[in-house]
Homo-oligomer: A and B are copies of this chain.
Amino acid sequence: MKEHYFDDLKIGDRFRSEPLNVTEKEVVEFALKFDPQMFHLNYKAAERTLFKGLIASGWHTAALTMRLFVQTLNFAEGAIGLGVDELRWPNAVRPGDVLAVETEILDLRPSRSKPGYGIIRLRNVTTKQHGEIVQTMLASAMVPRRVDARDNKTTDHKTTD
């Protein structure tokens, strides 16, 4: 997978992850550790809820989205999450669903406080097999710049931190 730096990206760039299968075992394991509610834990109990069956925790979907994002963008030295807005789960994820994440770069600016880094603003949309949207979010992350861009490059991006 190609490594990315801040300086490789342009506003409007889009990336699509590989597909990822969600298993019942993983849904239940995540719920036992992090979201022990009946519609995430047990098929029988989940059938009696609004969802009429087992669904993944929204936080499980968010964590799987992070995995697909990290694997797809593959930032050199990593991406440091600064914050997330408008995190929504419009449709449920169920065991057997196949997720994919589309990332769109919305904004790019060099960091003022850390010259070796840039701040990216992005939208991640997580879909399942027939294109149904299961999660949307806006996020900001700090990612490294290429060494030759760190000290002297001027850009036409916004420069206010």
Contacts and interface: CB of A to CB of B under 8 A. Distances in A.
A67 B63 CA distance: 14
A59 B66 contact: yes
Interface stretch (A5-13, A84-92, A96-104, A150-158): A84-92
A77 B50 CA distance: 10
A37 interface: yes
A15 interface: no
A60 B64 CA distance: 11
Interface string A44-64: 000001100000011110111
A83 interface: yes
Interface residues on A, range: 35 or more
A87 B84 contact: yes
Given A59-B62, A63-B59, A87-B87, A80 B35 contact: no
A79 interface: yes
Nearest to A79: B37
B66 A34 contact: yes
A38 interface: yes
A23 to B, nearest CB: 12
Contacts of A37: 70, 78-79
A33 interface: yes
Nearest to A87: B84
Given A35-B63, A83-B87, 4 more contacts: A35-B66, A35-B67, A59-B66, A62-B62
